[in-house]
Amino acid sequence: MEEEVKVLLSAGIECEKEKTVGTVGGLRLAWYKLRQRLEDWSDLLYCWWYRNEPATPFDEFMEEENKRRGIEHV
């Protein structure tokens, strides 16, 4: 019997608990779900990391900006 049981926690949050996996097919399915979730997280981390990576270091940017404005040794 593999039905999901909804449990109401003391905080008022509903969560779903699945019964323990009892077959090899169930273990394989759980493994594929975990692997897919980890791949999704790694993709998100990769996108976040390279989106937030500065193209030029801040010090170099400020030096160029100061030279452009004619300010030296600030």
Q: Report the pLDDT value the prediction gives residue 14, as an integer from 0 to 100.
A: 46
Residues of the chain with pLDDT under 70: 1-21, 54, 73-74
- pLDDT tens string 52-66: 776 777 788 888 888
- pTM value is 0.41
Buried b (16+ CB within 10 A) or exposed e, 56-69: eeeeeeeeeeeeee
Q: Is residue 65 one of the residues assigned to a domain?
A: yes
Q: Is residue 74 one of the residues assigned to a domain?
A: no
Eight-state DSSP code of residue 11: T
Q: Is residue 53 one of the residues assigned to a domain?
A: yes
Query: 45: domain range?
Result: 5-69
Task: Tell me the C-alpha distance between 16 and 8, whole Å.
Answer: 9
Count up the domains in the chain and report the number.
1
